[in-house]
């Protein structure tokens, strides 16, 4: 029973194939005014330095609908800054997700409450766990790339086991 309760911290509130599938209208219908999003394999491939044209359009659409975005990444400053600065998007680097400090810092900077903010990411063990533990609505996206750095490959192995358990229990219906 205790294990089941702990595993629910890894269960996202929503799941989408791509961040591009998340519309401002959908977020606003849930009272969302801000997004905390991961960078690598959520927005772009972990080795892509810049945003794609489709992603730039997505950011512009969020801004047009007054939805604030902050990138929260465990990556180093130079990686996150090089991606975020050309888009004028605030960011937090070396976030130490799933710890909650960076999530709290992001909502403080956006001047929002956690009930008005969604956490979006591609990893259960960092983004979803961190967002759920901190009381945010969470959205899991399918990773943009099928390749990962070494530490993330270990996380993916654990994630597959957790997702299979959720699937067997009927708690999720989507495929990897």
**Distance (Å, whole) CA 127 – CA 130:** 5
The model's confidence at residue 19, banded by pLDDT at 50, 70 and 90, is very high
3-state secondary structure of 2: helix
In a domain, 167, yes or no: no
Rounded to an integer, the average pLDDT of 15-43 is 97
Considering the domain boundaries, does residue 120 fall inside one? Answer: yes
Residue 30: φ, ψ to 5°: -100, 5
Closest Cα to residue 36, out of 115, 140, 143, 121?
121
Give the model's confidence band at 46: pLDDT under 50 very low, under 70 low, under 90 confident, else very high: confident
Band (95; pLDDT cuts 50, 70, 90): very high
Q: What is the CATH number of the domain that holds 85?
A: 3.40.50.1000
Q: Which of 21-30, 107-116, 153-162 is least confident?
A: 153-162
Q: With respect to residue 169, please indicate whether it lies within any of the assigned structural domains.
A: no
As for how many domains the chain has, the answer is: 1
CA distance 133 to 55: 28
The pairs formed by 97-100 with CB atoms below 8 angstroms and a separation of 24 or more are 97/38, 97/72, 97/121, 97/126, 97/127, 97/129, 97/130, 98/125, 98/126, 98/127, 98/129, 98/130, 98/133, 99/130, 100/130, 100/133, 100/134
Q: Is residue 23 part of a domain?
A: yes
Among candidate residues 116, 126, 156, 148, the one with its CA nearest the CA of residue 38: 126
Mean pLDDT of 135-162: 80
Q: Does any domain span residue 158?
A: no
Record the pTM. Answer: 0.89
84 pLDDT more than 60: yes
Answer whether residue 163 is part of any domain: no
For the chain, the average pLDDT equals: 90
3 state SS of 37: strand
- Residue 96 domain boundaries: 9-145
Residue 174 lies in a domain: no
Please report the sign of the dihedral spanned by the C-alpha atoms of residue 71, residue 72, residue 74, residue 77: positive
80 part of a folded domain: yes
């Amino acid at each position: 029973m205790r294990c089941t309760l702990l595993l629910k911290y890894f269960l996202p509130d929503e799941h989408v194939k791509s961040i591009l599938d998340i519309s401002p209208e959908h977020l606003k219908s849930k009272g969302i005014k801000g997004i905390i999003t991961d960078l690598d394999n959520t927005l772009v491939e972990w080795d892509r330095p810049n945003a794609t044209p489709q992603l730039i359009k997505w950011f512009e659409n969020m801004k047009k609908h007054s939805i604030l975005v902050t990138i929260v990444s465990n990556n180093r400053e130079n990686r996150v800054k090089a991606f975020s600065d050309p888009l004028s998007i605030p960011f937090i680097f070396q976030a130490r997700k799933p710890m909650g400090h960076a999530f709290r810092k992001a909502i403080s900077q956006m001047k929002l409450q956690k009930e008005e903010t969604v956490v979006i990411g591609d990893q259960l063990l960092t983004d979803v766990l961190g967002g759920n533990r901190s009381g945010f609505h969470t959205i899991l996206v399918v990773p943009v790339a099928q390749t990962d750095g070494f530490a993330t490959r270990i996380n993916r192995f654990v994630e597959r086991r957790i997702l299979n358990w959720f699937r067997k229990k009927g708690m999720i219906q989507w495929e990897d």
